[in-house]
Amino acid sequence: MPKLLQLTSLHPDAQARLAAGYQLVSVELTAVDAAWMAEHAASIEGVVTGGHLGVPPALLAELPRVKVIGINGVGFDKIDLEDAKRRGVRVANTPGVLTEDVADLAVGLTISLLRRLPQADAHVRAGRWPSGEVPLATKVSGKRIGIFGLGRIGHAVAKRFSGFTETIAYADVARQDVPFAYYPDPAALAAASDVFVICAAASAETRRAVGDAVFDALGPPGVLVNVARGSIVDEPALVAALLEGRLGGAALDVFEDEPNIPAALRTMDNVVLTPHIASATHETRRAMGHLMIDNLDAFFAGRPMPTPVV
């Protein structure tokens, strides 16, 4: 029975299946120290991790028998793929199964932000309704939607927003055969958008690609929605733009240093914050876990993995 290092939690159904087929050593990434290494490093054959955690190269270097990494998620930016390839380590993720949930949340965050749903909820819960109504909010229908990154999730976001508006545009590395306006870079897209939705993959090219040029192009009427990766946004610049009123608002599910976020964001009335929950439904987390195990099972059986990255 192969021995795996498990760094992330799984849906209970998937966890039961994983435990039935593998010998597991579960530990938080921050608890992997010299004593742990001395006891386990030489026997670990694979790693189960999340896209938000990855496997640091320094850790992988200390696990000589590891030949496969299963990511319970779609993002692989926290894994050095070139390093993994040099070491002969295969990497697989779980694309596709979380697309619908992430797209749903992008729309939900937009509605929450523009219609000020958190404030309305707080108004009722605090018993303030008898004393007066909440301030007027902003209409969602008819807004110009800009999507940065038109991959699987970007397409799903566009499909959902097509029920709200006829004006959808995108920016990506190349023009696609779609009925949406194309812009060559994020700032140009932002200038033509009221709502700027980030769906791009995290990479060296997209790191902090959304910064002052985008915020200033959106302006005080515009808002930012991020359901991709926190590293894509210049977070200090975002905080400054919001504080200075150069950007109208932001709805964020991801952050640069999760779970730590800038304190200023927590105090802003024009910001909606969620704790990286885009894929956090029973149905999707179950499907993610089982696809991740399908990849591991295939690898250890010598079969092609269903969704390999490298």
CATH number of the domain within which 162 lies:
3.40.50.720
Chain segment 97-152, per-residue pLDDT in tens: 999 999 999 999 999 999 999 999 999 999 999 999 999 999 999 999 999 999 99
Average pLDDT over residues 187-193: 98
Q: Are residues 57 and 130 in the same domain?
A: no
Active site residue 100: no
Instruction: Tell me the C-alpha distance between 201 and 153, whole Å.
Output: 10
Q: Are residues 264 and 293 in the same domain?
A: no
Q: Which contacts qualify for 5-9: CB closer than 8 Å, 24 or more apart? A: 5/40, 5/44, 5/46, 5/47, 5/48, 5/63, 5/66, 6/47, 6/48, 7/47, 7/48, 7/49, 7/50, 7/53, 7/55, 8/48, 8/49, 8/50, 8/53, 8/72
User: One of 207, 208, 258, 286 is an active-site residue; which one?
Assistant: 258
Residue 191 within a domain: yes
User: One of 11, 90, 276, 285 is an active-site residue; which one?
Assistant: 276
Q: Are residues 62 and 189 in the same domain?
A: no
Q: Are residues 86 and 190 in the same domain?
A: no
Q: Determine the pLDDT at residue 307.
A: 98
User: One of 229, 256, 285, 290 is an active-site residue; which one?
Assistant: 229
Domain housing 58: 3-95+282-300
Q: Determine the pLDDT at residue 183.
A: 98
Q: Determine the pLDDT at residue 84.
A: 97
Active site residue 258: yes
Q: Are residues 207 and 108 in the same domain?
A: yes
Residue 307 within a domain: no
What's the domain count of the chain?
2
Q: Are residues 149 and 236 in the same domain?
A: yes
Instruction: Tell me the C-alpha distance between 62 and 274, whole Å.
Output: 35
User: What angle in degrees, to the nearest 10, is found between the helix axes of 152-161 and 99-114?
Assistant: 50
Q: Are residues 74 and 188 in the same domain?
A: no
Active site residue 166: no
Residue 87 within a domain: yes
Q: Are residues 202 and 242 in the same domain?
A: yes
